[in-house]
């Protein structure tokens, strides 16, 4: 060794020289393998306040818990939460092209539509917007999980039923996976809602994740069933 550098030529023993060559070759192969290793795949969440963690401490929303679950299981997915409180399907559709171009996700979760209903917007337009979002994602090469929502019956049975039917209709026509109702495991627990009776508390967030997980896992090429830690 001269000046801290390995000299193969000056090795006095052939056996030692062969060992050094093998070591260098091994290091070279390891370096090549490391360079060829794929980077983390990206999972993009485009939602409203239910996914943005409205009223919750940082890191306690269901999307944050999803990120933590993937990290704990040593699964190489980068979760990007592009959810905005108050967003509608029109807002999500307007934002989506730039998000797809920037993040190049392999999987996209679309959780929008609740604010459309709360504002009494056209359900036909809501369905059209969701369909357009799904088509943009698929065109960009991403798999899609559509998250369904329902609204309280005080909006009238006709509007309530028509709104609930939007999500399965989009999922069926676009051939994408569907979470039938994000709050399915939460609505039976009134104490799991914040004072506005709209947004779930931190206590409800693990249940939201468990509602999403069985439909998301196959898109990540993972088993749908998962034992609680």
Q: How far apart are CA 208 and CA 148, in angstroms?
A: 12
Please identify which of the residues 41, 103, 132, 199 carries the catalytic annotation.
199
**Best CA proximity match to 96, nearest among 110, 75, 77:** 110
For residue 42, what is the enclosing H or E element? strand 41-47
Task: Give the SS3 label for residue 176.
Answer: coil
Helix intervals (H) in the chain: 14-36, 49-52, 62-72, 89-103, 114-118, 123-139, 157-174, 205-216
Q: Tokens at residue 18, please?
A: 């062969």
Is residue 196 annotated as a catalytic residue, yes or no?
A: yes
Is residue 131 annotated as a catalytic residue, yes or no?
A: no
Please identify which of the residues 13, 39, 191, 196 carries the catalytic annotation.
196
Please, which residues have CB within 8 angstroms of residue 131's CB and are 6 or more apart in sequence? 170, 173, 174
> How many CA atoms, within 13 angstroms, populate the side-chain half-sphere of residue 222?
18
Please identify which of the residues 49, 51, 83, 131 carries the catalytic annotation.
49
Is residue 49 annotated as a catalytic residue, yes or no?
A: yes
Q: Are 147 and 81 in contact (CB under 8 A)?
A: no
Q: Are 93 and 125 in contact (CB under 8 A)?
A: no
* β pairing state of 177-179 and 107-111: unpaired
* β pairing state of 177-179 and 77-81: unpaired
* Catalytic sites, residue numbers: 49, 196, 199
């Amino acid at each position: 060794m001269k000046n801290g550098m390995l000299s193969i030529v000056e090795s006095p023993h052939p056996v030692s020289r062969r060992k050094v060559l093998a070591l260098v070759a091994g290091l070279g192969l390891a370096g090549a393998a490391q360079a060829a290793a794929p980077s983390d795949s990206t999972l993009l969440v485009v939602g409203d306040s239910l996914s943005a963690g409205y009223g919750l401490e940082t890191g306690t929303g269901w999307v944050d818990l999803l990120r933590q679950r993937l990290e704990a299981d040593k699964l190489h997915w980068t979760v990007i939460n592009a959810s905005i409180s108050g967003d509608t399907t029109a807002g999500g559709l307007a934002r989506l092209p730039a998000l797809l171009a920037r993040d190049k996700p392999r999987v996209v979760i679309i959780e929008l539509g609740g604010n459309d209903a709360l504002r009494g917007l056209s359900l036909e337009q809501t369905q059209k917007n969701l369909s357009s979002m799904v088509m943009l994602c698929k065109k960009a090469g991403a798999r899609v999980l559509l998250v369904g929502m329902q609204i309280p019956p005080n909006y009238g049975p006709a509007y309530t039923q028509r709104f609930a039917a939007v999500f399965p209709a989009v999922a069926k026509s676009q051939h994408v996976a569907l979470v039938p109702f994000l709050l399915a495991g939460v609505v039976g627990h009134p104490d799991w809602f914040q004072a506005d009776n709209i947004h779930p508390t931190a206590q409800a967030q693990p249940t939201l994740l468990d509602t999403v997980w069985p439909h998301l896992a196959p898109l990540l090429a993972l088993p749908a069933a998962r034992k609680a830690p």
